């Protein structure tokens, strides 16, 4: 897979001439987490083995968080898991998760990607961000809009890091979010979903 050949952010910055900055740009938009979700996650953490494998981490720790927030935005977006993202032979592969616009042709038709999540396999966040930024570049090119902000998340289930690509500038959020601080994490993920929705609304009103 071509995305995986990028081992760090620097290699992507140099190849595509993107500038790099660090800032705490993330907002936090409060999200009401159900008691059922809290209890279920606690059961998985206490009695399960959610980090037994890469697939386990995705299915037990990452996807449930994304899915819970996505439910509130499902009229506008589809949350795709392990779906191919292809721009050209250098920018192609299978992101763990993609939030894409819901197509007018139906939910099974892949449309514009708004944010991507990459799992930090073996806790290798440096490699995870190289891959994620390459995927964000692909999404930007597929959308054919430089003014369009693409969001990226890299997570090992426990830690969640955020970034955004605007025009030819990538900003990495300085602070990371923790699964153990569930309310704060959900507020951050909800913020990204809302930003995507605002962009979609802005496009529809043009």
**pLDDT digit string (tens) for 107-155?**
999 999 999 999 999 999 999 999 999 999 999 999 887 678 999 999 9
> Given phi > 0 = left and psi -120 to 50 = alpha, else beta, which region is 82?
left
Structure confidence at residue 128 (pLDDT) = 96
Whole-Å CA distances, 174 to 2, 14, 21, 171, 177? 27, 21, 10, 9, 10
Tell me: pLDDT of 36 over 60. Answer: yes
CA-CA-CA-CA dihedral for 132, 135, 141, 146, to nearest 10: -10
Confidence of residue 163 (pLDDT cuts 50, 70, 90): very high
Structure confidence at residue 22 (pLDDT) = 97
**pLDDT digit string (tens) for 57-94?**
999 999 999 999 999 999 999 999 999 999 998 899 99
Domain with 71, as residue range(s), is 3-204
Distance CA(139)–CA(149), nearest Å, equals 10
3-state class (DSSP) for residue 60:
helix
Looking at residue 135, which CATH number applies to its domain? 3.90.1570
Structure confidence at residue 130 (pLDDT) = 97
- Secondary structure of the chain: what % helix, strand, coil (to 5)? 45, 25, 35
**pLDDT digit string (tens) for 19-34?**
999 999 999 999 999 9
**pLDDT digit string (tens) for 120-129?**
999 999 999 9
Q: Are 61 and 179 in contact (CB under 8 A)?
A: yes
Tell me: pLDDT of 205 over 80. Answer: no
> What is the crossing angle of helices 35-47 and 63-70, to 10°?
170
Number of structural domains (the chain) is 1
pTM: 0.94
């Amino acid at each position: 897979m071509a995305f995986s050949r990028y081992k760090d952010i620097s290699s992507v910055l140099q190849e595509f001439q993107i500038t790099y900055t660090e800032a705490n740009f993330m907002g936090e938009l409060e999200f009401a987490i159900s008691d059922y979700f809290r209890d279920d996650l606690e059961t998985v953490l206490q009695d399960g083995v959610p980090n037994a494998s890469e697939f386990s981490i995705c299915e037990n720790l990452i996807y449930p968080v994304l899915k819970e927030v996505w439910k509130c935005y499902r009229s506008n977006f589809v949350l795709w898991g392990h779906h191919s993202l292809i721009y050209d032979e250098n920018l192609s592969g299978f992101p763990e998760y993609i939030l894409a616009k819901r197509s007018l042709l139906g939910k099974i038709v892949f449309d514009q990607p708004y944010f991507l999540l990459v799992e930090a396999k073996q806790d290798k966040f440096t490699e995870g961000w190289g891959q994620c930024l390459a995927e964000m570049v692909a999404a930007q090119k597929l959308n054919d809009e430089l003014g369009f902000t693409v969001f990226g998340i890299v997570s090992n289930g426990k830690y969640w890091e955020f970034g955004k690509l605007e025009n030819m500038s990538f900003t990495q959020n300085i602070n990371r979010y923790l699964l153990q601080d569930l309310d704060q994490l959900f507020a951050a993920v909800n913020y990204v979903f809302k930003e995507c929705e605002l962009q979609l609304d802005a496009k529809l009103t043009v």
